[in-house]
Amino acid sequence: MAYEYDGVKQLDTEEVMEIFKTKPKNVVLLDVREPHEYNAGHIPGIQLLPTSEFIERYEQELDPEKEYVVVCRSGNRSHMVCKFLQEQGFKKCANYAQGMLDWPGPFETANLPPTGGQRW
């Protein structure tokens, strides 16, 4: 059940699974893990924007009018990204609190090259 922590809406696995299944047009699933983590397994169709490149790329790739559900391995990096986005004026951002550690599937794999940016 959704709750708020540190000013950020937190979603559980059941809620994120519902978003994945229904694919609302105004909601974007956003993976902020690094490419090697994403390559190992990610939610099908999720957008990747690694934390190591986030600051440099978010303005070009994200729309402040959309709602983002941010995903990482355990919910920590995604929480920090939500806080950052809120500070930048993004009003609709939620954290997948349990992260990919709790995601039951389905999964896709990829073969992206590593990034050269700094990790958070």
Comparing C-alpha atoms, which of 70, 60, 72 is closest to residue 119?
Answer: 72
How crowded is residue 37: how many other Cβ atoms within 10 Å of its Cβ? 16
Per the residue annotation, which of 8, 62, 69, 72 is the catalytic one?
72
Cα 61 → chain centroid:
13
Q: Is 93 a catalytic residue?
A: no
Contacts with 11 (C-beta within 8 Å, 6 or more apart), sequence order: 2, 19, 69, 94, 95, 96, 97
Instruction: Write out the catalytic residue numbers.
Output: 72
